[in-house]
Each structure stands twice: as structure tokens, then as C-alpha cells.
Amino acid sequence: MPSPVLALRADMDALGHIIDGVACARHTCGHNGYSSVVLTAAQELLAEVAVKRGRLKILFQPVEELGAGALVMVEGGALSQQCWRHQFGA
């Protein structure tokens, strides 16, 4: 049996905008903040040796704004063959 996995997940994507007549994508909905929180939490967990057995996995889920991010993660294999003990998301 594989060792347990603690996963931290954050949404990350960009929204389409038109600025000065030019189409572009910008991170304007707070997901960059979620990513920062997850990275800081992971850093603290590792610094405190809070994950004593198993692994810590950090997941960044794309395409959240379109509602397809979870499917992209599953189809891409990010969740395959895992023995999830806990998963937390921002």
C-alpha cells in the first residue's frame, strides 16, 4: 500500500480582458492569492516537519473560471494512483 498523501490545492487561471482594445489575460480574481497561501502553508508544514509519514503534494488546478479544472486534473493524471489521506484547497 502506498504511503498516505496530504495534498494542498489552489485554483489558478486568468480571466480574459480587453485593455486598450487588445485582448489579454490577467490574474484579476484572487487566485494568485490562493496560490501564495498554498505555497506558504506547504513551506510551513515542511519547516515544522508536520508531514512525518507519507508525502506532501501541491496541486495547482487550472481552468477554474470555466468549470473544467477538475476534469483537466483527472484527465492529466494528477490524481491517479494516490492514497489520499487529506486534501485541502484554497
Task: Compute the distance between CA of residue 56 and CA of residue 46 in angstroms, rounded to an integer.
Answer: 8
As a whole number, mean pLDDT of residues 29-35 equals 75
Mean pLDDT, residues 48-77 taken together: 77
pLDDT score of 40: 93
Q: What is the mean pLDDT of residues 32-45?
A: 87
Per DSSP, what are the bridge partners of residue 8? 58, 88
Confidence category of residue 21, pLDDT binned at 50, 70, 90: very high
pLDDT at 48: 82
All 3 cell numbers of residue 55?
508525502
Cα torsion 52, 11, 64, 75: sign? negative
Of these ranges, 2-6, 31-35, 71-75, the one predicted with the greatest mean pLDDT is 71-75
